[in-house]
Amino acid sequence: MKAFDTENSVWSRFSPEQRGQMEAYSVHYRQFLDTARTERLANKEIIRQAENAGFHPLADFTSLKAGDKVYWDQKGKSVILAVIGSAPIEKGLKIVGSHIDCPRLDVKAMPVVEKNKIVYFKTHYYGGLLKYQWVCLPLSLVGVVYKADGSRVDVSIGEDPGDPVLFINDLLPHLGKDQAAKKLSEAISGEMLMPLAGTNGEGEKTKPAILTLLKEKYGIEEEDFTSAELEIIPAVKSRDVGLDRSMIMSHGHDDRVCSYANLAAILDAAPGEKTQVALFADKEEIGSVGNTGVQSSYFPDFIAELLSLQGHDQEIWLRRTLRNSEVLSADVCAAFDPVFADAYEEQNSAKLGYGICLCKYTGARGKAGSNDANAEFMAKIRRIFNEKEVPWQVGELGKVDQGGGGTIAYIMADWGCDVVDCGVAMHSMHAPLEIVAKADAYSGYLAYKAFFESK
């Protein structure tokens, strides 16, 4: 099979056997999507699958040998898996780095508000979403609450078929003259993203009744919201799309389509000479900040712990290891959408259904904020994909000066690693529901597995 082919889709290049493998992979990916609905739930599911495959917490080890499988759980919201190779760790790592957070609405610290006997939850949007897309959707409330005594309460409302859902109103078109005159970005403001929580109450007030319901079901008080992480996400599970079922619709493809491929690849890859590392990061959508984002020290700390277990405690060993490492930044890219053709430069845009996408650079304007991958490393990745017949293509994020975006690639390049962006192309990125092609999702798995197994 020709790996790089701009004229023929992956599906048309696949054999019947490969198409069957793609469909089977898509079933497992959809199961992951419907389970890993938040970064905390994704973290939990990744660790569950890793433990079933023989991975153990790094803290369980006093030394390391080839074939050992270890993981690091960072605050319950980021996780690292590693399979120790036969070569010394300082010779470099094979790293695939994806992220498990995605755009959503976060519930504020004091969220419950009553207006005209209608109770709402106040929210603050997370990531680069389009606010107008979040109205008139069924929504779930999912997350954790930590009470004053330190006990944890898991909250899930809207995920089960019999659950009620939340809902954000929009203005009826009959009264929408002033709203229609506004710019699209201003028609719905951030403070208007308030899901309906209830209308039934005794006497003059409704809010106490809603707080009572929360206390009866979860044992939480209003003050407990101040130590909570509650997310508003679409109450819609994944679905096949198209009469041919060639695509998948879901919340969170960015970046769980790459994260699942990363997970499946490291679980299935044959152990190699170099240590294989799968990173599942948090906070990418807001700049990789905080102690669960890649800008913090936890990833280098993890590598330092591996080195320490092999008897290397000096910082130079960590620097040498990172400098010798290779990274695929596994994040999604924009696929050309003919409905919005004016935003793209078609010849240099990825296409839906044509394989995993290599992006030499991202950024904005004159490549600002970009990792611009070295040509030598691009050539090596091309060679790996071609030899293993991994369907791949190249792309960039739209027309020059049209906008832009970034990934974790530039952060990992700051450590001295060779890095290139390598992710699944998609439509409707950052929308409440996004679209990927099954062929591209499966190509991502093939790509990351081939990279892990390469020399």
Q: Is the pLDDT of residue 368 over 90?
A: no
At 297, the pLDDT band (50, 70, 90 cuts) reads: very high
- Helix, strand, coil abundance in the chain, percent, nearest 5: 35, 25, 40
Does 302 score more than 90 pLDDT?
yes
**Average pLDDT, whole number, for the chain?**
97
- Res 204: pLDDT: 74
Question: Residue 235: which pLDDT band, with cuts at 50, 70 and 90?
Answer: very high
| H or E stretch covering 418 | strand 418-423
Contact of 437 with 353, CB cutoff 8 Å: yes
Order the strands of the 78-83 sheet from edge to edge. 56-57, 69-74, 78-83, 275-281, 93-99, 326-329, 418-423, 356-359, 392-394
pLDDT at 324: 98
CA–chain centroid gap for 316, Å, is 32
Q: What string of DSSP letters covers 6-55?
A: SSS-HHHHS-HHHHHHHHHHHHHHHHHHHH--SHHHHHHHHHHHHHHTT-
CA-nearest of 177, 96, 31 to 447 is 96
Residue 203 clears pLDDT 80, i.e. is over it: no
> What pairing do the DSSP bridges indicate for beta strands 118-126 and 333-334?
unpaired
Residue 441's contacts (CB-CB under 8 Å, 6 or more residues apart) are 25, 26, 29, 248, 257, 260, 261, 424
- When pLDDT is averaged across residues 396-409 and rounded to a whole number, the result is 90
Name the token pair of 192: 């208007």
Per-residue confidence band for 259, with pLDDT thresholds at 50, 70 and 90: very high
Q: How far apart are CA 454 and CA 90, in angstroms?
A: 17
User: What is the per-residue burial (b if ≥16 Cβ within 10 Å, else e) of 93-119?
Assistant: bbbbbbbbbbbbbbbbeebbebeeebb
Antiparallel, parallel or unpaired: β 425-427 and 333-334: parallel
For range 353-378, the mean pLDDT: 93
Answer yes or no: is pLDDT of 308 > 90: yes
User: Residue range 425-439: average pLDDT?
Assistant: 99
Whether the per-residue pLDDT at 205 is higher than 90: the answer is no
Q: Which tens digits make up the pLDDT trace of 316-357?
A: 999 999 999 999 999 999 999 999 999 999 999 999 999 999
User: Can you tell me the distance from the alpha carbon of 19 to that of 309, in angstroms, rounded to the nearest whole number?
Assistant: 43
Residue 304 — very low, low, confident or very high, per pLDDT cuts 50/70/90? very high
What pLDDT was estimated at residue 369?
84
pLDDT in tens, 106-163: 999 999 999 999 999 999 999 999 999 999 999 999 999 999 999 999 999 999 999 9
* Tens-digit pLDDT profile for residues 158-168: 999 999 999 99
The Cα 365–Cα 142 span in angstroms is 37
Strands (E), 263-367: 275-281, 326-329, 333-334, 356-359, 363-364
Q: Would you say residue 258 has pLDDT above 90?
A: yes
Q: What is the pLDDT of residues 9-21, one digit of tens each?
A: 999 999 999 999 9
pTM for the structure as a whole: 0.97
- 368 beta partners: 364
CA distance 200 to 212: 12
Query: What is the dotted CATH code of the domain comprising 10-102+251-453?
Result: 3.40.630.10
56, 67 in Cβ contact below 8 A?
A: no
Structure-block tokens of residue 338: 């003919």
Q: What is the mean pLDDT of residues 180-192?
A: 97
Q: What is the mean pLDDT of residues 261-272?
A: 98
Q: How far apart are alpha carbons 388 and 381 in whole angstroms?
A: 11
pLDDT in the model for residue 148: 94
Domain 104-234 belongs to what topology? Aminopeptidase i, Domain 2 (2.30.250)
Q: What token pair was written down for 195?
A: 């899901």
d(CA 178, CA 82): 56
Q: For position 364, what pLDDT does the model report?
A: 84
pLDDT of residue 202: 77
Alpha-carbon distances, residue 116 vs 80, 112, 120, 124 (angstroms): 48, 13, 11, 22
> Does residue 201 surpass a pLDDT of 90?
no
User: Does position 50 have pLDDT exceeding 90, yes or no?
Assistant: yes
- As a whole number of angstroms, the distance between CA 343 and CA 304 comes to 44
Q: Where are the domains of the chain?
A: 10-102+251-453, 104-234
Cα dihedral sign for 173, 176, 182, 188?
A: negative
